[in-house]
Structure 1
Amino acid sequence: MKHLQIIVIAISIVITSCTLDKTDYEAELIVETTEYIEFEEVTIANNEDYSISIEALNGTLYKGYNEVHLKVINLKTGGSIENSEITFLPILTDANGNKSSCPHEYNLTYNATEGYYKGYVVFTNESSSTVDWQLYIGFNDNNETQSIDEIITVETQTNMNLNMTAFTGNDDEQYFIALVAPQSPSVAQNDLVAGIYKYNKPTSVAGDFPDISQFSYSIVENHTLLLDPRMPEPSMGNHSSLYNEDLTQESDELYHGVVNYTMTGNWTLNFIFKDENQQIIKGTEVSTEFTPGIEGERGELHIDILF
């Protein structure tokens, strides 16, 4: 009897140790995803003479990819500033006063039909008591350079289908992959869209703040993102699906592919990131072994999603 008690205790310890630090999949499934299609005002940045309205989907800036629209008004005349050269620089300041940025479109483009300047920003952190984000916006009007800065709030992205990841590649460069679409996937083949960006290491000593040469990012060109989607829950055995397509860059400079979700739930998008010469920058293959009862293996480069 004593030996039986010891065996039962040992089994209990093993079960407990195997379940510690595991993903709480049931709790995650309670989260609902909402698809936002309307641009709304996030905030207004002002100086004495000008007002800049900053818009984003749902009127909120989130960690990850954000398309942004800016409208500039001359407060004295009430007229819109059109076809100006707008610069857009997000700066993060941490608790120690260190400053950094994130992938962003520095020179915004003007949409004459809609009357706004368009760009994007991939925030890498949420705002918090120790992290502040501030936008530095510059433009020209009547041959005079104007500048406005505004503290903004970056919220946690609760929609896991829009997750992102940052990593250092085998080439010692810093990269960022941010999911752009779909916001709300379906049980079907879904068009998968992602932005891929790289930090441009400064080649000179910093000048007066904010010196754009210290906060420069670029869109990664002509690379490939190999895709292997899996369901990592123990009950799912880390199974994959058929009819997926790897992500390649298209004319909008984003990377497009296809992911086939065969059921709702937790999925892991495992990636292998290759350069234009098909050399691996980051990522490892995932075993094809079916593993029921065991949480699924994830590759070196991956993003977890949920719908």
Structure 2
Amino acid sequence: MKSFKFLVIALFSVITSCTIDKTDYEAEIGSEVSEYYEFRETVSFTSGNYKISIEALNGTFYKGYNELHLKITNTQTSQNISTSEVTFLPIMTAADGSKTSCPHQYNLQYDAVNKYFAGYSVFTSESVTPDSWKLYVSFTADNQKYEINKDVSVAKQSNKNLNMTTFTGKDNQQYSIALVAPQKPTVSENKLTAGIYKYNKPANAAGTFPDASQFSYSEVSGYTLKLDPRMPEPSMGNHSSPNNQDLTQQNDGLYHGVVNYTMTGNWTLNLIMMNQNGLIIKGTVVPTDFTPGVEGVKSELYIDTLF
């Protein structure tokens, strides 16, 4: 009988602890996570008779993955340009004058149905003085090439479901993983989408700035992102969930899988990234022990989420 009482008290303590943590979590976020579906103009600039407009979700560039819609309009005829060769290059200048880029689509593709040039940019940092981001855009119209640049602002990503990470793999290559969806998970099995990108180390010395070959990135092809989601909070005891699916690449170039969130709160997506040959590029297996009162061990490759 005494053993039974002790068991009841222990279970009550765990449940109470989880409830308290959940309440603290709700106080931490303060408001619901916003979902953005509308693309709005983020920045525009003109060159000659042409206006270039770039749209992003919510009209804002955020740290992390940004889908982009670029439109070119002849201001004299109000006609959209659809046959141009359009390039897009984001460059960040640091306080010491050094310049870096981020994963992006350099050659934008025209979407004839929606009438815009489609691409993306995975900004690896927000705009913080004195670091600054600038977009370099070129296009061809009427057999003339136009080259324009514009300073832009990159906002902090407040939605932790869209977090990202950058790292050096065991192959000594620089990688970035950015979460794309869901923006607002539910307590259920959620379709999980991420982009994986690699920096292409230049083969030659830099030419005239901005030399795109010095800032080149590519989508990683044929990899596997093994997934092990956990609740690492001490009160949650390294809690996991069933029915998760590893992320594999689909026709859109992104990686798709399933993450099963069994409750709201702090989750860690523990990851192991493997190349086409099954070799581990980054990541470690995490313990499966239930460890109430002890913070859960994370993989060497992980992304934290909170919803």
User: Structure 2: where are the runs of 5+ without partners?
Assistant: 1-23
Structure 1 gap ranges (5+): 1-23
Q: Report deviation, 1:104.
A: 0.2
Q: Is the partner of 1:161 in helix, strand or coil?
A: helix
Question: In the alignment, residue 172 of structure 2 is paired with which amino acid?
Answer: D
- The question of whether the paired residues in 2 share the 8 Å contact of 1:42 and 1:59 is answered with yes
Alpha-carbon separation, structure 1, partners of 2:168 and 2:86: 31
**1:243-262 correspondence to structure 2 within 5 Å:** 243-262=243-262
> Secondary structure of the equivalent of 2:80?
coil
Deviations 1:143-166 (A, max 9, x none): 111111111000000000000000
What are the residue-to-residue correspondences of 1:156-305 with 2, within 5 Å?
A: 156-305=156-305
Q: Give a deviation string over 1:159-187, Cα, whole Å, max 9, x none.
A: 00000000000000000000000000000
**Alignment-mate amino acid for residue 155 of structure 1:** A
Which runs of 4 or more aligned residues in structure 1 lie more than 4 Å from their structure 2 counterparts after TM superposition? 24-27
Aligned equivalent of 1:3:
none
> Matches of 1:83 and 1:230 in 2, distance apart?
48
Q: Is the contact made by 1:163 and 1:303 (CA closer than 8 Å) also made in structure 2?
A: yes
Q: How far did 1:27 drift?
A: 5.6
State the one-letter code of the partner of 1:237. Answer: G
Distance 1:235 1:29, change over 3 A: farther
Is this contact kept in 2: 1:25–1:233, CA < 8 A? Answer: no
Alignment-derived partner of residue 55 in structure 1: 55
Instruction: Give distance in 1, aligned partners of 2:291 and 2:30.
Output: 25
**Matches for 1:69-148 after TM superposition, within 5 Å:** 69-148=69-148
Q: Distance in 2 between matches of 1:110 and 1:169?
A: 34
| One-letter code aligned to 1:208 | T
Q: Quick check: 109-118 or 119-128, which moved more? A: 109-118
TM-score (norm 1): 0.90
Distance in 2 of aligned mates of 1:50 and 1:198? 33
| Cα deviation code 1:181-228 (max 9, x no counterpart) | 000000000000000000000010000000011000000000000000
CA offset at residue 64 of structure 1? 0.2
Q: Is the 8 A contact 2:47 2:146 kept in 1?
A: no
Further displaced range: 67-76 or 241-250: 67-76
Report the CA distance between 1:235 and its aligned residue.
0.9
What residue in structure 2 maps to residue 65 of structure 1?
65
Against the structure 1 CA distance between its residues 31 and 282, is the aligned structure 2 distance closer, same or farther, given a 3 Å change threshold? farther
Deviation of 1:31 (Å):
5.2
Q: Is the 8 A contact 1:29 1:265 kept in 2?
A: no
Aligned residues: CA RMSD: 1.2
- Per-residue CA deviation, residues 13-36 of structure 1 (Å, 9 max, x unaligned), is xxxxxxxxxxx8576443531110
Count residues in correspondence.
284
